[in-house]
Amino acid sequence: MSKSKLAAVIAGGVAAAGVAFVVFLFVIKALWAWTVPDLFPGAVKQGLVAETISWCTAAKLAILFALLAGLGKGGHVHSHRHEAKP
């Protein structure tokens, strides 16, 4: 693979990761605003739990979820090859 193609693949991967991160931020903010006030109405009313979260908090949660997902996989990619048994 030539250097220009490799650079294009890397740039595309970084762009795709950035887009996925931004989409995940929107999903986190929307799910928080949709579920938390319904699950904890008393706590939201008393100010114990935030009704909405900021973009910065959503980014922190996205990073936390990504780290937890990585730890859950053990940092390894498992190949699931099924060999035919004779």
Residue 19 within any structural domain of the chain = no
Residue 5 within any structural domain of the chain = no
CB 33 within 8 A of CB 52: yes
Residue 31 within any structural domain of the chain = yes
Domain count, the chain: 1
Residue 37 within any structural domain of the chain = yes
Q: 22-48: string of b/e by CB count within 10 Å (b at 16+)?
A: eebbeebbeebeeebbeeeeeebeeee
Residue 44 within any structural domain of the chain = yes
Per-residue pLDDT of 29-76, as tens digits, reads 999 999 999 999 999 999 999 999 999 999 999 899 888 888 887 655
Q: What is the pTM of this model?
A: 0.68
Q: Is the pLDDT of residue 14 over 90?
A: yes
Host domain of residue 33 = 24-72
Residue 14 within any structural domain of the chain = no
